[in-house]
Amino acid sequence: MISVPEPVGADLLGELPPATEVVVWDGHCAAPPEADGIEMFVGPYNAPAPEADVLAGLPRLRVIQLLSAGVEPWLPVVPDGVQLCNGRGIHGASTAELAFAGMLASLRDLPAYLAAQGEHRWERRTSGGLDGRRVLVIGAGDIGGRIADAARLFGAEVTLVGRTARDGVRASAELPRLVPEHEVVALAVPLTADTDRLVDARFLASMPDGALLVNVARGSVVDTGALVAELRTGRLRAFLDVTDPEPLPAEHSLWDVPNLLLTPHVGGGTRGWKRRAYGLAGEQFRRLVAGEPLHNRVAAGY
């Protein structure tokens, strides 16, 4: 038996093994009578994880499949012996697309042109672009790899950074030396103990004058107070799709700092994501029943 958090999910799972039962349940309302038979629980997207005792009370549960790439809210509630799988690949293209759109919009001064349009001013500006820019992409997974590929297509010199060095990827231990050498820094890392507040005051101070910070990872990867202080000087620019706190309170100082382009965590919110998401869940369930290895298995928080 597989559970999905919304009725549309049942329609998008694809062909399932014979006699498979599908139950609609998000783990937050009262458990349905069939809950004791659930082997795979598909977690709700953009919603809190259920309480730990809810999932621990499912005697046949073997897999929790998420519809998001990030897993940090779920780690404390996964029962012993249950495999957690993330949604890598579901939102990769759309999130990288937004990161790239924000990067180009900032480098080509589109916010300034929008302001001029509102004031009916025909005002040309000499802006940069990506050709010849040095771009540092921190996070060598699906999203980071796509950002890097797109930037290269537009002539940027790209350095890709991961936890450890490998072919085409530099190690995160090299960041103190790499950051000052790059004019654009894009963040596409999971939130872990190692990446929480990775971009702090020292990191920001090491970025060259006029550099651009792009964050489509998690808000807590950046020290918000340090970023606000730096942006107020006018020395750096930023594009953020995620913030800390989130949602960003209306009275927060981040709204009013200069040189910032902000979107409300919509990287994965494009049409078609549910088809990709539940298609993955259906494939995972078929693999589970067949005894085949699952995709996107999470280990050590990744």
Give catalytic residue positions: 218, 246, 265
User: What Å distances lie between residue 226 and 79, 121, 232, 251, 300, CA to CA?
Assistant: 37, 34, 10, 18, 29
**In 3D, which of 112, 111, 147 has the Cα closest to residue 130?**
147
Contact 25, 32 (CB under 8 A): yes
For the beta sheet containing 22-24, the strands, ordered from the edge strand earlier in sequence to the opposite edge, are 22-24, 2-4, 40-42, 63-65, 83-85
How is residue 43 annotated by DSSP?
P
Gyration radius of the chain's alpha carbons = 21
**In 3D, which of 215, 217, 246, 218 has the Cα closest to residue 231?**
215
Dihedral sign for Cα atoms in the order 120, 125, 128, 129: positive
Other CB atoms closer than 10 Å to residue 17's CB: what's the count?
11
Dihedrals phi, psi of 250, to nearest 5 degrees: -60, -30
Count H helices and E strands in the chain, helices first.
9, 12
d(CA 80, CA 102): 41
Other CB atoms closer than 10 Å to residue 232's CB: what's the count?
13
Cis peptide before 17 (omega within 30 of 0): no
Q: Which two tokens stand for residue 192?
A: 């872990």
Q: Which two tokens stand for residue 76?
A: 């404390």
